[in-house]
Structure formats: structure tokens, C-alpha cells
Chains A and B, each alone.
Chain A
Amino acid sequence: MRSAVVVFPGSNCDMDLVHAIEDVLGEEVHPVWHHESDLSSYDAIFLPGGFSYGDYLRCGSLATFSPVMEAVKKEAETGKLIVGICNGFQILTEAGLLPGALMRNDHLQFRCELEPITVERADSAFTRHYEQGETVQIPIAHAEGNYFCDEDTLQKLEENGQILFRYADQNPNGSLANIAGITNEKGNVLGMMPHPERAIVDWMGSPDGARLFTSMLAYWKENQQ
């Protein structure tokens, strides 16, 4: 599985992701500058956390118009796996690849902590190595993770099983329905506020994020035949 980690001006979790993918999967991974307009040679595309364009205007809004985003949209349509983490999730919603929006945390604080997360579905491309209903520990680090959408959209998310991750205990940002991560309707685009790349081995506080990457690799292998 050949992965691209898109680097926007202001991304700061890009190399963490590159190392996590290398260490967990031992598969090929490349950081790709946001001016790239062709991602067709990659099997999986990651939008990392950070502060693209300094969070100016709205988090993720200016990154939406980077040349690479046309390529991301094109590859998303072909069914390739796309993951946006934290700022990457914000970019995916701004770009319209995922429904809803991520607003300022309801308490206005930046929260950086290991967070218990419930895995709602274990049959998705991203979660097949988790148990359904399992609570895992994955850190968050954000001030704008307060997921919001209208009632119809929330109902669709619930009905289609698009909510993959919810905050298990306390809700750290005020997000609707305790949402921590959602997919698009087709299930190949995931956006999540927690950082799986920061939880891949015990000494990081939790190894639970690693299985997201191994799940994706397993899904990709299954779909190769």
C-alpha cells in the first residue's frame, strides 16, 4: 500500500504520520507538498493535523483551495482510502468531502489529552482490527473539534452507520452526539479529531491507534485480488 501524507503550509503532524505508517506497516509512504495535482499513484491519502494556513479565516478553509485538493477529491471518487486527522478532518468538511463543520470547542479551551474513544463499527475499512463497541485510548489535541451538522444530516449519519468513533466518557469539545470521527456515505473517506499516529506503541501512552493503519492495509490487500 503506497501512502501519501499531504503537507500544507502549517501542517505539523505530517512527519509523525509518515513515521507511524512506516513503523506500523513497513509500507511505502511519501510526504507530498500541497502543490501536487496528481495523486493517482497512491493507494491511500492522509491529511495530517496542524494549522494549515495558520487557521486563517476558518480552520481548514484555505487549504481547501490548495491544488492538491482537486486530486484528493478525484481519488476519493475512485474509492481510495482518504483519512483526515484533526486539521485534516477540518479540511475534509470544508472541502465538502464530509458533511458538517468543526467549530470552536464549547469551553473555548485547547484540549490536549489521552481520550477514551468508542469504536462504533468494526466492519469499516478503517476499523476492522478493532472490536465493535471497544473503548480505545487515542489522544486529542485541538481547540476546534466541536462537530456540528443539521438534524437531517445527523440522522443520515446515524442511519448509514457513518459515525465510526465517539467520545466514550466526557465529551471534550461539545461535539454533536459525542462524534469523534465520521466517514462519507461510501465509507472510503474518514475524518477524525483523535490522533492515531500519536498512539502506536506503549511508551506513547497507548498503542491503540496502530490498528487503524493495520485495518487500512488489510482492507487494501483484500481489495487487491
Chain B
Amino acid sequence: MYKATIFVTLKESVLDPQGVAVKGSLHTMGYNQVSDVRIGKRLEVSLDAENKEAAEIAVTAMCEKLFSNPVIENFRFELEEV
């Protein structure tokens, strides 16, 4: 059994209005040292696989087909045997 922790984030070229709003709040709170906030998603997926390589191939495909939208998002993941 493997556990994949997947991070999906908006591409650098894409404006993140949520991040901009949160940055505004941080500035209101006095955290003027904050220059940028980007909000993304974290997904945890447990899966069975023959080996780590097979798990990697499967999770990559899942990320490409479903977890992220390649038009606006990037993804990366960490994989551990559990």
C-alpha cells in the first residue's frame, strides 16, 4: 500500500484572486512583509501498487487526467510506502 500526497497549484502565469484577497487581509493585520500568497490544494490518495514505480506512474496519470487541469494548474506529489 502506498500513500501519495499531491499538491495542485495554479500556474505562476495565472492570477490567484483568493491569494490576492488573503494577502490583503494579512496586510490589514500588519504583516506587511508578505509579498505574495498562492492558494492550492492538497490531496491524500491511498493506493495498491506492485512497486513504487508502478504507484508513481498511476498517480501521475491520475493527476494529469483528473486532479489537475493542465490549462491552469501544476501538480507535484510525494509517495511513501505505508
Using a CB–CB cutoff of 8 Å, the interface residues on chain A facing chain B are 57-58, 61, 65, 93-94, 99-101, 103-108, 148-150, 174
Contacts and interface: CB of A to CB of B under 8 A. Distances in A.
Interface of B: 14-15, 17-18, 21, 66-67, 69, 71-72
A-B pairs, 4 with minimum CB distance? A101-B71, A101-B72, A106-B17, A101-B69
Given A101-B72, A103-B14, 20 more contacts: A57-B67, A58-B69, A61-B69, A93-B71, A99-B71, A100-B71, A101-B69, A103-B72, A104-B17, A104-B18, A105-B17, A106-B15, A106-B17, A107-B17, A108-B17, A108-B18, A148-B14, A148-B71, A149-B71, A150-B71
SS of A interface (majority): loop
A80 B18 CA distance: 38
A57 B21 CA distance: 21
Nearest to A108: B17
Contacts, number: 31
Contacts of B71: 93, 99-101, 148-150
Nearest to A153: B71
A105 B67 CA distance: 21
Nearest to A149: B71
A101 B15 CA distance: 13
10 contacts: A61-B66, A101-B71, A103-B14, A104-B17, A105-B17, A106-B17, A148-B71, A149-B71, A150-B71, A174-B17
Contact of A148 (B66, B67, B72): B72
A54 to B, nearest CB: 15
A148 B14 CA distance: 9
A150 B13 CA distance: 9
Contacts of A93: 71
A203 to B, nearest CB: 35
B69 A94 contact: yes
Best-buried of B14, B15, B66, B69 by chain A (most CB within 10 Å): B69
Best-buried of B17, B21, B71, B72 by chain A (most CB within 10 Å): B71
